[in-house]
Amino acid sequence: MKLGIALRNMGPQSTRERLVECARAAEDAGLHDLWVVDHIAIPPDDAEGSDGRYLDPLATLAFLAGVTRRIGLGTAVLVLPYRPALPTAKWIATLQELSGGRLLLGVGVGWMEPEFRALGVPRARRGALTDAALDLFGRCFADDEVEENGQRFLFRPRPPRPPIFVGGAPPHAFERAARYGDGWMPLSGDPAKLEPQIRRLREVFDAAGRPPPEVVALAPLSPGDASRSADRVHALARVGVGRVIHAPGRYPDVAAFRRSVETLAGLL
């Protein structure tokens, strides 16, 4: 089991200094990875807790790559329909190259109608846009020379493709993951709910001739109760979860974040 933690790239916690301190605390404690979220255009009536302040996830991870050495750097999740596919592929390849291969790419189709409206992207096309982006990513990381829109071009640098974990609900997320990715990222920490879903996910991957998928669960733990947290992690491992991401919520300061880190480190 690999253990990671969500780092708030939004709200008052997302200052440069606090991001650096929290990221280094997680790395020094031996955690496997850090994860950030993605919002571009939060409407005013949905900004409680963040005040609409969101740092771009890929830019944030690029910054964190420069102030850390070992820890994995993940998106949970990058909303693909929000961005043009080819520049996003370039961002991903650059981040993977300069981080030394530490990127973990959680992706999703998105859900917030006001954001789609602000971007001028039809929400009804989010699945098709996501598939098109993932298809392009696969082609870009497979060959230096790629064709898109009838034009051949060189895609360099071309480091190893980062693992792709598809967020969302079955059946669409399972089919998308088996076609384009390496695993699934459920927003659940309930082992009883996940067990039949993971069983079905493995069947979908097997039918597609793919290796067994990795499951990365966004599963809040209990920072003040190490025994309860350990029980949850062990239960998730038994049903097939390979990574757990703990989201510590709106931690008021670095000291509170460190307490969560210490709980997780005690489970390693």
- In sequence order, the β-bridge partners of residue 245 are 4, 218
Tokens representing 37 are 């979220």
d(CA 78, CA 92): 11
| pLDDT the model gives residue 226 | 86
Burial classification of residue 112, based on how many CB atoms lie within 10 Å of its CB (0-12 exposed, 13-18 middle, 19 or more buried)? middle
| pLDDT the model gives residue 225 | 85
Domain that holds residue 145: 2-265
d(CA 111, CA 209): 30
| pLDDT the model gives residue 224 | 77
**177-231: pLDDT as tens digits:** 999 999 999 999 999 999 999 999 999 999 999 999 999 999 988 877 889 999 9
Amino acid of residue 45: D
Do 30 and 268 meet the contact criterion of CB atoms below 8 Å apart? Answer: yes
The pair phi, psi for residue 106, each rounded to 5°, is -85, 130
| pLDDT the model gives residue 36 | 98
| pLDDT the model gives residue 152 | 98
Residues of the chain with pLDDT under 50: none
| pLDDT the model gives residue 48 | 93
Q: Which residue has the tokens 């929290």?
A: 22
Total count of domains within the chain? 1
* Residue 79's CATH number: 3.20.20.30
Tell me, letter by letter, the H, E, C secondary structure of the chain: CEEEEECCCEHHHHCHHHHHHHHHHHHHCCCCEEEECCCCCCCHHHCCCCCCCECCHHHHHHHHHHHCCCCEEEEEEEEHHHCCHHHHHHHHHHHHHHCCCCEEEEEECCCCHHHHHHHCCCHHHHHHHHHHHHHHHHHHHHCCEEEECCEEEECCCCCCCCCEEEECCCCHHHHHHHHHCCEEECCCCCHHHHHHHHHHHHHHHHHCCCCCCEEEEECCCCCCCHHHHHHHHHHHHHCCCCEEEECCCCCCCHHHHHHHHHHHHCCC
